């Protein structure tokens, strides 16, 4: 497609780890590498943690509960004013708004702008739950969108369920080569290393389910090692664990991108014990790309990524005993684990940015086909003059 000017809006704190932020960062950098101009408007807690020159700081976010998690978002008159200033100065061909149906910068930008507007919906949540309970208020905003993208069938269903509108499904993207070619590091590798990445303070990430499986797994695999990466207080997970098992679990803290890639490439098995609230499962795709066997809870989002157990093993959600059973079986079957890893790596190719970005750009082309450009809405211009 021709080179265009894209305004990208990230609703969540840029310097807070999260799948949406990673998706926006990678998509932006891919688009820039193809010659497009991209500016990202986003909340930032700490300026020193936002190094990218394409990022525009809209202000400090506040924490609000969304879909079983706590998200850092920015909303209100000051944020609205900054969004309008950014739109007016950007001379954009198109705005790409992520999660425009939650109170955030994306909603404010969508409300203030007119012209080619693309929205990506990441959240999967039951009707009348969480922030989507105010759906009727948001419907006029969602209807303004020229095109809608959902990152999964679950996210698409959520959009249809709440707003009676549809979207094209384009999954989150990954740079598969980074994981496939990552350096294997000794401290992560070994015949019985099992990995987990997630925030400890979010119960839905399922770390407790994994920890609770350790007592059973260690009976059959005495040299098992659980490697746990992510921010949070590890003491809560150790206090109820048999003292003799403490040396079987290692807390690594937050990993850099490069460390994460090597981590996923080095471990024998990656476990995703999330208990719900996921619409996709980007870390599963990353682990598959690294050539690592994956075990995940049988929540719908993970079943979809693992093709109903064809490219990764599933266990009964929130059942640590079943996780232990599946984990022990896969650790003891080297041939099956190797075959599963190969199948998973092939399956993950559809999530590579070379494939995903082309689909996103096709949506962009459709959105700008009318020849309009992004501008402030008449109402926004009126209030800006007052």
What is the band of 130 on the pLDDT scale with cuts at 50, 70, 90? very low
Task: Give yes or no for residue 65 having a pLDDT over 80.
Answer: no
Task: Give yes or no for residue 129 having a pLDDT over 60.
Answer: no
Q: What mean pLDDT is predicted for residues 240-267?
A: 95
**Token pair for 275:** 């208990």
Alpha carbons 293 and 284: distance in angstroms, whole number: 10
Alpha carbons 127 and 162: distance in angstroms, whole number: 6
* Range in 181-185, 236-240, 264-268, 329-333 the model is least confident about: 236-240
Task: Give yes or no for residue 46 having a pLDDT over 50.
Answer: yes
Place of tokens 């998706």: 23
Taking residue 319's Cβ as centre, other Cβ atoms within 10 Å add up to 17
Residue 161's pLDDT is 86
Question: Is residue 21 within 8 Å of 29, Cβ to Cβ?
Answer: no
Residue 99's pLDDT is 94
Burial of 210 (0-12, 13-18, 19+ CB in 10 A): buried
What is the band of 121 on the pLDDT scale with cuts at 50, 70, 90? very high
Spell out where the chain has E strands: 5-9, 37-42, 55-57, 62-66, 69-73, 94-98, 113-114, 117-121, 147-150, 168-169, 193-197, 225-229, 249-253, 269-272, 293-297, 313-315, 375-376
Task: Give yes or no for residue 382 having a pLDDT over 50.
Answer: no
Alpha carbons 163 and 153: distance in angstroms, whole number: 15
The domains found in the chain, sorted by start residue, are: 5-173+352-385 (3.40.50.2000), 176-350 (3.40.50.2000)
pTM value is 0.87
Query: Cα separations (Å) of 34 from 31, 37, 171, 255, 379?
Result: 5, 9, 20, 29, 35
Alpha carbons 268 and 211: distance in angstroms, whole number: 17
Query: Cα separations (Å) of 329 from 14, 193, 264, 275, 313?
Result: 40, 14, 20, 22, 10
């Amino acid at each position: 497609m021709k080179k265009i000017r894209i305004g990208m809006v990230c609703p969540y704190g840029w310097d807070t780890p999260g799948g949406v932020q990673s998706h926006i960062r990678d998509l932006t950098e891919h688009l820039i590498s193809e010659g497009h101009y991209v500016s990202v408007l986003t909340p930032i807690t700490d300026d020193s943690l936002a190094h990218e020159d394409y990022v525009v700081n809209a202000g400090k976010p506040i924490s609000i509960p969304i879909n079983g998690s706590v998200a850092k978002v920015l909303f209100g008159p000051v944020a609205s004013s900054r969004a309008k200033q950014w739109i007016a100065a950007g001379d954009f061909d198109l705005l790409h708004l992520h999660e425009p149906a939650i109170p955030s910068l994306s909603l404010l930008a969508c409300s203030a702008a007119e012209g080619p507007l693309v929205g990506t919906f990441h959240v999967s949540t039951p009707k009348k739950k969480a922030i989507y309970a105010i759906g009727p208020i948001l419907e006029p905003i969602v209807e303004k969108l020229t095109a809608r993208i959902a990152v999964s069938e679950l996210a698409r269903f959520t959009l249809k369920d709440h707003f009676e509108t549809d979207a094209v499904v384009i999954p989150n993207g990954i740079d598969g080569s980074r994981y496939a070619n990552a350096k294997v590091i000794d401290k992560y590798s070994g015949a019985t290393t099992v990995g987990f990445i997630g925030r400890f303070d979010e119960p839905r990430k399922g770390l407790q389910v994994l920890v609770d499986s350790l007592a059973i797994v260690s009976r059959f695999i005495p040299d098992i090692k659980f490697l746990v990466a992510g921010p949070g207080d590890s003491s809560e997970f150790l206090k109820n664990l048999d003292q003799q098992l403490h040396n079987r679990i290692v807390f690594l803290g937050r990993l850099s991108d490069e460390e994460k890639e090597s981590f996923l490439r080095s471990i024998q098995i990656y476990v995703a014990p999330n208990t719900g609230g996921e619409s996709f499962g980007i870390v599963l795709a990353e682990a598959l790309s690294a050539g690592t066997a994956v075990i995940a809870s049988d929540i719908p989002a993970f079943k979809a990524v693992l093709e109903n157990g064809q490219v990764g093993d599933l266990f009964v959600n929130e059942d640590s005993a079943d996780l232990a059973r599946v984990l022990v079986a896969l650790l003891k079957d080297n041939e099956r684990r190797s075959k599963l890893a190969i199948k998973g790596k092939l399956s993950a190719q559809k999530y590579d940015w070379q494939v995903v970005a082309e689909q996103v750009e096709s949506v962009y082309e459709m959105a700008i086909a009318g020849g309009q450009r992004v501008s402030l809405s008449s109402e926004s211009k009126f209030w800006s003059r007052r």
